[in-house]
Amino acid sequence: MKFRILTLILIILTSCINETKFDSEVWNKKGVDWQVTDFREKMVADLIKSDTLIGLNKIELFELIGKPGREFDNKLEYLVREKYEWNVDPEYIKYLWVDLDKNGIVTNCYLEKTR
């Protein structure tokens, strides 16, 4: 009985983990939008914390995480997650922003969540 309870607790705790290691192939995977962004949302924290993007040039960046959805001067925007519940409007949208210096080198990246 104790083993079953311990196993159940372990399953619940591990299913609550929303962070996984960044994987370029999974990040760039094509498919249904909600599936793709679900994977990205779980990887983005590792991507930012590990400084994987810092120091890459634009070509290396595009090879690693693809081309951005939008580009503003030296800022690139990548869709991470568009989360819907029961409404037509999204519950929230998360973007990964990548800052480039004047030479096109990544200097910073951060997550932005909008409602």
Residues 80-103, mean pLDDT to the nearest whole number: 86
Beta bridge pairs of residue 71: 76
Q: How many CB atoms lie within 10 A of CB 38?
A: 14
The 10s digit of each residue's pLDDT in 8-48 is 444 444 444 578 999 999 898 876 565 567 888 899 999 99
Predicted TM-score of the model (pTM): 0.76
Q: Confirm if 114 and 92 have CB atoms less than 8 A apart.
A: yes
Token pair, residue 46, equals 């590792």
Domain residue limits at 101: 2-114
Per-residue DSSP letter, 88: S
Residue 95: name the closest of 37, 49, 46, 53 by CA. 37
pLDDT computed for residue 70 by the predictor: 95
Total number of domains constituting the chain? 1
